[in-house]
Amino acid sequence: MPKTNVLAGAALLVALALVPQFVHSDYLLTVIDTAGIYAIVVMGLGILLGFAGQLSLAQAAFLGIGAYTSGWLTTNLGWPVWPSMAAAMLMSALIGLGVGYPCLRLSGHYLALATIGFGIITQLVLINWKSVTNGSDGMTGIPAPQIGSFVFDSYGRYYYIVLVAVLACAYVAWRIKTTRVGRALEAIRENEIAARATGIDATRYKIIAFVLAGAYAGLAGSLLAHMTKFISPDSYSFDQSVVFLVMLIVGGSSSISGAILGAVLLWFLPEVLRPLKASYIMVYGAAVIAMIVFMPRGLVGLLESLRARFTRRPREAA
């Protein structure tokens, strides 16, 4: 790796680690923490849609499964937070496996429709399975994680858990992308028939991607539950799944940094637009459409072409 990249990476890490030292508004920190948590969901969707080319509109449902698994284990069974987070991830992954196995025999629009159906069913279960989920009233008193006697009970402290999780998830996605599994996923995206004829068990790899996307969303759901300490079914709607999809596409679907940038940008955009009050949703919608029209390869694609332009110019002049 070139030295400048290592230095830039280190500088970025230091800057990220210092954020809570400079941001003192609890409100702003919540927004930042949530952006990071959503970035995890969007990275997972990036593995599924960006790498493997399979669309899911159920990521909010997996977020909910993670949140409720974690919430239920800690409040009802008294589990500590960390193993509950692992269990939340595992539960979402397992349900991803159960749903992915039949669904991934479908493709294109049919797959999208099946995932929409699953998402809606999940939300209905969260609302109606009152003995476990407490229905529309939601679940309260979800504890904050702690290490020894250090409790991550402020948004500034929680930020570090989110940061570590985002970095770990980005690392996993990057390792997948740059090795054999990632190449198999990209082969399926590019041409499934050729991928099969090349010896790739496309169904198996699509399921792997679906399970990973579920696990990412499950972890994110758990992180969200232990940050807000309160969860209710309305956060895990079809609309929210669409927002995750838009975040990925705006960021740049096959790029890990694009997934993070898209999630952060679209989560902050409403905050920036808040002064517009009632007309904000219109401007937000127009901004999203403009981004998709003018940056077909997402934010990351735009940045890459800008960089290519600025690095090529001097050479051409010489």
Close Cβ partners of 71 (under 8 Å, ≥ 6 residues apart): 139, 142, 225, 231
Amino acid at 317: A
User: What is the nearest approach in angstroms of other proteins to the Cβ of residue 178?
Assistant: 8
Rounded to 5 degrees, what are φ and ψ at 146? -145, 155
298: left (phi over 0), alpha (psi -120 to 50) or beta: left
Longest dimension (CA), the chain: 73
User: What is the nearest approach in angstroms of other proteins to the Cβ of residue 282?
Assistant: 35
User: What is the nearest approach in angstroms of other proteins to the Cβ of residue 100?
Assistant: 15
User: What is the nearest approach in angstroms of other proteins to the Cβ of residue 207?
Assistant: 12
Task: Extract the tokens encoding 290.
Answer: 């403009």
Interacting residues toward other proteins by CB under 8 A = 172, 175-176, 179-184, 186-187, 190-191, 193-202, 208
User: What is the nearest approach in angstroms of other proteins to the Cβ of residue 316?
Assistant: 20
Alpha carbon 239 to its chain centroid, in Å, reads 15
Contact 254, 52 (CB under 8 A): no
User: What is the nearest approach in angstroms of other proteins to the Cβ of residue 251?
Assistant: 17
Q: Tokens 């940056």 identify what position?
A: 295
User: What is the nearest approach in angstroms of other proteins to the Cβ of residue 190?
Assistant: 4
Task: Extract the tokens encoding 181.
Answer: 């599994």
Our CB check for other proteins shows the closer of 39 and 187 to be 187
Upper half-sphere CA count for residue 153 (Cβ side, 13 Å): 7
Our CA angle for 301, 238, 294, nearest 5°, is: 25
Give SS3 for 150.
Answer: strand
Handedness of CA 77, 80, 81, 83 (dihedral sign): negative
